[in-house]
Amino acid sequence: MALFINVLTQVCITLVAVCGIYVLTGLTGMFSLGSAAFMAIGAYASGLITIKLGLPIIVSFILAILMAVVVGFVIGLPVVKLRRDYISLVTLGFGESIAQLLIQMNYLTGGANGLLGIPRKVKWPIALASAIVSITLVAMFKRSKYGRQCIAVKSDELAAEAMGIDSSRIKMIAFLLSCALTAFAGCLYSFYMGYVDPGIFGWKKSADWVIMVFFGGVNSLTGSIFGATILSALPQFMRSLRDYRYVVYAVMVVLIINFKPNGLLGEWELTPTHIKETFKKIKNKFNRNSKES
């Protein structure tokens, strides 16, 4: 039971982060290989504010997220006007720099040993609630004007501009929302684990998240959530295979990209209309089969 609750909490925290990645990658078509760095900012900032300043947790969460958004704005400013490749290159460099910075500022962050003594206040109900809130938020964002503009920018930037969409502004909004969500996941993480160290926030983590989004279906929020749940829960139950985990992941994703490029769920979403359509399809198939036989 304890294992199950542990896995549930970790999956929920990952889900919050993956929501952020979905906004960036799934909706807007940008790739960040430094999302984990924003998670690091969230984790360290909230932990430090609570430990050193003694502010309540809610305040430290809000301050940490604000800080991540401000940093994201500085990073995003030169990048959103350029080709999308730049955002991955820049965030990759940013991620590596943040890891270095955390090690260098050891009088504040504890250096490579990590930051210890964060109160373990986040339990599974909070994590679950945060995951649900984040998913709802992103689902609403997708349905809003901004979400539709994001999708337009993703499919064809030039055409979107011609329709009067300010594509750099939309890219920036998506990027900042994604930063805020990943930073939030970082806050949850540090207050769940009780300590953080710079080692876990490398580009590998960001790449992991992108892979999760693609696994379930890059165009569908349901798919991304589904992929993230499966890919982050499975390895927790198969501890002995830890080294092989990345290889198995990679092989699966290569297969999916090659043979089912839209991911497992494609464009399918968990909404009443989509469910009805699916039922209709299944029914039709069933009827046809019974007629033929």
Binding site for other proteins (CB under 8 A): 25, 29, 31, 33, 75, 77-79, 81-86, 88-90, 92-94, 96-97, 100-101, 103-104, 156-159, 202-204, 207-208, 210-211, 214, 218, 243-247, 249-251, 253-254, 257-259, 261
CB closer to other proteins out of 75 and 187: 75
Query: In the complex, what is the shortest distance from the CB of residue 32 to other proteins, in angstroms, rounded to a whole number?
Result: 11
Q: What is the DSSP string of 237-277?
A: H-GGGHHHHHHHHHHHHHHHHHH-TTTTTTT--SSHHHHHH
Query: In the complex, what is the shortest distance from the CB of residue 254 to other proteins, in angstroms, rounded to a whole number?
Result: 6
CB closer to other proteins out of 156 and 277: 156
CB closer to other proteins out of 93 and 194: 93
The CA distance from 263 to 256, in Å, is 6
The CA distance from 235 to 256, in Å, is 19
Query: In the complex, what is the shortest distance from the CB of residue 76 to other proteins, in angstroms, rounded to a whole number?
Result: 11
The CA distance from 242 to 235, in Å, is 7
Query: In the complex, what is the shortest distance from the CB of residue 185 to other proteins, in angstroms, rounded to a whole number?
Result: 20
Query: In the complex, what is the shortest distance from the CB of residue 18 to other proteins, in angstroms, rounded to a whole number?
Result: 14
Q: Which has the closest alpha carbon to 172: 72, 45, 65, 49?
A: 72
The CA distance from 215 to 262, in Å, is 9
How many Cα atoms are found within 13 Å in the side-chain-facing hemisphere of 11?
A: 22
Q: Which has the closest alpha carbon to 27: 151, 212, 132?
A: 151
Query: In the complex, what is the shortest distance from the CB of residue 269 to other proteins, in angstroms, rounded to a whole number?
Result: 20
The CA distance from 72 to 156, in Å, is 24
* Continuous segment of H or E residues that includes residue 228: helix 221-237
CB closer to other proteins out of 78 and 117: 78
CB closer to other proteins out of 80 and 138: 80
Query: In the complex, what is the shortest distance from the CB of residue 30 to other proteins, in angstroms, rounded to a whole number?
Result: 9
The CA distance from 15 to 22, in Å, is 10
CB closer to other proteins out of 79 and 118: 79
CB closer to other proteins out of 17 and 188: 17
Query: In the complex, what is the shortest distance from the CB of residue 212 to other proteins, in angstroms, rounded to a whole number?
Result: 11
CB closer to other proteins out of 8 and 89: 89
Q: Which has the closest alpha carbon to 95: 229, 186, 169, 157?
A: 186
278: helix, coil or strand? helix
The CA distance from 133 to 16, in Å, is 9
